[in-house]
Each structure stands twice: as C-alpha cells, then as structure tokens.
C-alpha cells in the first residue's frame, strides 16, 4: 500500500517535471523581442542616463535607439563598462545600485543573435521613462549661476569658484540636492559648499590658480561638502523625517571643474533644492574623513611608486549612515571603507577594487547602517603613480602630493548620517 502511494507520487513528480520542461522549451523556441524582453532591462538600467538632458551621449529608449546600437550594447554590457558601477557587489549593496545580472546580459546577447526582433508593441510595459532610482519630483527652489561663464579655449583643466546667494528667509531642511550642468560637454565635475560669512560674494568665476585665492581661503566654507556631482550621479534623497539643514540667507559656493577645450563655450549651471516634507526629527550631518586622518604614512605619492594609506576615525556617538561617497583623483587604484565595532565586528561600507576617476558617485544604503559609539571607521586606499597606470595624467610620472586640482591627489570619504 505504502509502496503504491510512493509510486504514484513519483509518477506525479515526473509528470510535473516533464510538463515544466515542455513549457520551458516552448518559451525558449520563441524568439526574444524588444518590447517583451529587452525594453524592461534597458529602461530600468540604461534610460535613466541615456535620455535627453541626462549624462548619456545618446538616447536608449525606443526600439530604433537600441537596435541601432545593439552590437555596441552587447559589448559594453558584457565587459560591464555599462551601466557604470564601481562598488564591489559582493561587499555591500545599495539603493542606487546599477548592475545587470548575468542572465540580463545573456538575454541581450541572445536577442541580438536571434536578429533583434521588435515584437508586439502591445507587450510594451509602461512607456514612462524612469529618471533614476527615486520618485519623480519637481525641485522646490532653483538657483542658477548669476551669469553665464565663458569657458576658456586654452585647452587646460580649469577650476572655478562661483557664489550664489540664496536669500532664504529662514533656516531650511533639504530632502535632496541636485546639480544640473549647463554645459554638458565641458562640466567635468562639481562640488557644492555653503557660506554664511557673505565675505566671498565677489568670487564670480574665480580661478583656483588666481593670486587672490588667499582672500577666499580666509573664509572657510561652513559646509565643505554639501554635495558632489559627476556625470551620471543622481541626487541623494534623505530618508523621511530627516533633512540636511542650510542656514537662512546662506550662499551656495559652487566649485566647477571644466574639462580642457579648444573652443570658447558658455556654461550656466543650476543647483536644485528639494525641501524636506513633514516634520524633521533628525538632522542629516556629514563626516569627511580626509588625508589628515592617515596614520601609516605621510600623504605623499612619489613617482614610480604604488603607496598605500590607512585613515582612522574614532566615533564618539552612535550613528546611522545614509550614504557614503569616496573620492580620489587619477592615481587612485583601490578604495575600501568599513567600521570596526568595539566588539571587533566589521561593518562593510564600500569596496572599489578598480578605481575609476570618471565614475564617482554617492552610494546610498538600502537601509541605514548603524555604527555604534566607540567604533572606528577605517579607510584604506592605494595609488599607482607609475607609467603603467593608463589614467596617470603625467608622463613621465612626477612626485605628487595633496591638492585640489586633478594632477594632485586626494583621499576622502564623505559619510551622510543621522545621530542615533
């Protein structure tokens, strides 16, 4: 009796497997189509940048956009050059992660091999073009540079400072900060700081190499790192009930790096502010772990060396980390940051195994990362100042030290956090 039941169960199981195989092979034999299989992958992972007004150099929205570039897309996805994502997913994962699964990469490849079928438009899901991992919202306040800046045709990297008064009537909490480059081709990256001294309102387009820069340096910014932007970076949206405070009548200080150009072109960049909604229970604060926290060595990078630095920051209160942003220049080769609790547990923050200056971003955690009081935050970074580093901006290599411009070096980790 029991044997018979078993036998029936076994037969049932075989039948189920056989049926599954059948439907699987039926699915397989049907060619993949753009609207059913490819558009969801592209719209989710590529279109946020590859649409008008965003960082990507061309659109990837419609069947024609994608099929025209299909071979190129197979190549950049297989090599994982696109979507750009530097953080090692085996170490930590993030809300704004942009990564394709191996299956998605294979699906794109199969679709191209099968002849790039468009399929039925009826299969197309929502035609909404996503703009990023966050809800779509209009900014509450927009501040443009006071006047267009004429970018030089001298063919050199150019670092400029701009002051933008906000005339805000009261202290204000922000949910997000966004930078919109005016000249998409030449704005290489930017950093937004704040000032309440009002003593540096004259710095309209001041060059980092200007002889009067010391007057500007006399008034250190209130916030050295309100926000940093590189092409493709999305704003960080701070969690509900929190906000980044900016003071009433604050001035925004914009530091823009313009790429070398052989023709004069204008730039009129814009800073968008999104006000926090609802009651603010916690203020978003930042810690910037800089070169000053390096313990193992002086921050010098002699030519033809590959030095390694370790910075240590002691936490005297319990914090919950919203996002981190690592920063180095062209000689950076790897970057790792983590916390070690008093119980010697390691809390991973970020690991980048192959640093790329061009793809820096803020990494926002899926859930706040709690680091208890008494922990240390450790930053480990290595640099490659040899001729074998293709990103090395100087050939032959020369001795490099700390500095703002890209032929100098930096080692920073910015943490956006709230106190527990």
Q: Which stretch binds ligand HEC (CB under 6 A): 2-10, 42-50, 200-208, 283-291?
A: 42-50
Query: What distances in angstroms separate CA 233 from CA 27, 97, 366, 416, 419, one per listed residue?
Result: 38, 11, 17, 16, 26
Residue 80 binds to ligand HEC (criterion: CB under 6 A): no
- How many residues interact with ligand HEC (rule CB under 6 A)? 21
Binder among 49, 176, 319, 411 for ligand HEC (CB under 6 A) = 49
Question: Residue 400's beta-bridge partner residues?
Answer: 301
State the first-to-last Cα distance of the chain, in angstroms, to the nearest integer: 64
Binder among 40, 65, 68, 76 for ligand HEC (CB under 6 A) = 76
Q: Which residues contact 192 (CB under 8 A, 6 or more apart)?
A: 177, 179, 226, 227, 228, 229, 252, 253, 254, 255, 271
Min separation Cβ 108 and ligand HEC, Å:
8
Query: In this complex, which beta carbon is closest to ligand HEC, that of residue 98 or of residue 336?
Result: 98
Kindly state the DSSP code that residue 35 receives in the 8-state scheme: I
Confirm if 179 and 231 have CB atoms less than 8 A apart.
no
Residue 139 binds to ligand HEC (criterion: CB under 6 A): no
Kindly state the DSSP code that residue 340 receives in the 8-state scheme: E
Binder among 31, 35, 40, 55 for ligand HEC (CB under 6 A) = 55
Binder among 56, 139, 348, 393 for ligand HEC (CB under 6 A) = 56
Residue 51 binds to ligand HEC (criterion: CB under 6 A): no
Query: In this complex, which beta carbon is closest to ligand HEC, that of residue 125 or of residue 212?
Result: 125
Min separation Cβ 333 and ligand HEC, Å:
19
Min separation Cβ 109 and ligand HEC, Å:
12
Residue 57 binds to ligand HEC (criterion: CB under 6 A): yes
Q: Which stretch binds ligand HEC (CB under 6 A): 52-60, 246-254, 259-267, 387-395?
A: 52-60
Rounded to the nearest 10 degrees, the angle between the axes of helix 102-113 and helix 70-78 is: 150
Q: Chain centroid to CA 100: how far?
A: 16
Residue 228 binds to ligand HEC (criterion: CB under 6 A): no
Query: What distances in angstroms separate CA 192 from CA 153, 254, 273, one per listed residue?
Result: 25, 5, 12
Residue 83 binds to ligand HEC (criterion: CB under 6 A): yes
Per-position DSSP letters for 137-201, written without gaps between them:
---SEEEE-SS-EEE--SSS-EEEEEEEE---SS-EEEEEEEEE-SSTTTEEEEEEEEESS---T
Query: In this complex, which beta carbon is closest to ligand HEC, that of residue 55 or of residue 144?
Result: 55
Q: Which stretch binds ligand HEC (CB under 6 A): 8-16, 20-28, 79-87, 324-332?
A: 79-87
Confirm if 259 and 189 have CB atoms less than 8 A apart.
no
Binder among 119, 232, 243, 326 for ligand HEC (CB under 6 A) = 232
Residue 235 binds to ligand HEC (criterion: CB under 6 A): no
Give the interface with ligand HEC as residue ranges (CB under 6 A). 45-46, 48-50, 55-57, 60, 69, 72-73, 76-77, 82-84, 98, 100, 231-232
């Amino acid at each position: 009796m029991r044997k018979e039941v078993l036998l029936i169960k076994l037969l049932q199981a075989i039948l189920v497997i056989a049926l599954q195989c059948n439907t699987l092979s039926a699915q397989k034999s049907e060619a993949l189509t753009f609207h059913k299989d490819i558009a969801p992958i592209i719209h989710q992972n590529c279109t946020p940048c590859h649409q008008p007004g965003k960082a990507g150099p061309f659109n990837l929205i419609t069947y024609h956009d994608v099929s025209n570039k299909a071979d190129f897309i197979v190549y950049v996805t297989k090599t994982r050059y696109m979507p750009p994502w530097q953080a090692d997913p085996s170490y930590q994962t993030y809300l704004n992660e942009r990564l394709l699964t191996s299956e998605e990469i294979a699906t794109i490849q199969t679709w191209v091999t099968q002849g790039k079928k468009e399929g039925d438009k009826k299969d197309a899901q929502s035609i909404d073009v996503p703009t990023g991992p966050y809800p779509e919202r209009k900014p509450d306040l927009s501040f443009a540079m006071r006047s267009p800046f004429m970018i030089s045709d001298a063919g050199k990297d150019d670092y400029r400072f701009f002051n933008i008064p906000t005339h805000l009537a009261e202290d204000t909490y922000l949910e997000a900060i966004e930078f919109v480059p005016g000249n998409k081709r030449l704005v290489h990256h930017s950093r937004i700081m704040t000032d309440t001294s009002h003593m540096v309102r004259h710095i309209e387009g001041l060059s980092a190499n200007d002889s009067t820069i010391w007057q500007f340096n006399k008034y250190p910014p209130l916030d050295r790192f309100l926000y940093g932007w590189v092409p493709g970076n999305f704003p960080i949206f701070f969690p509900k009930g929190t906000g980044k405070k900016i003071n009433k009548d604050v001035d925004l200080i914009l530091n823009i790096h313009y790429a070398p150009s052989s023709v004069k072109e204008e730039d009129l960049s814009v800073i968008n502010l999104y006000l926090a909604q609802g009651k603010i229970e916690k203020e978003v604060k930042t810690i910037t772990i800089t070169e000053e926290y390096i313990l193992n060595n002086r921050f010098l990078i002699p030519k033809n060396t590959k030095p390694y630095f370790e910075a240590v920051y002691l936490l005297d209160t319990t914090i919950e980390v919203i996002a981190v942003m690592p920063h180095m220049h062209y000689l950076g080769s790897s970057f790792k940051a983590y916390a070690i609790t008093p119980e010697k547990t390691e809390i991973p923050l970020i690991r980048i195994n192959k640093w790329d200056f061009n793809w820096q971003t803020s990494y926002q955690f899926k859930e706040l990362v709690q680091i208890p009081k008494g922990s240390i935050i450790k930053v480990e970074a290595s640099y490659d100042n040899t001729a074998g580093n293709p990103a090395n901006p100087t050939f032959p290599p020369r001795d490099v030290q700390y500095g703002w411009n890209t032929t100098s070096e930096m080692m920073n980790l910015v943490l956006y956090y709230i106190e527990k």
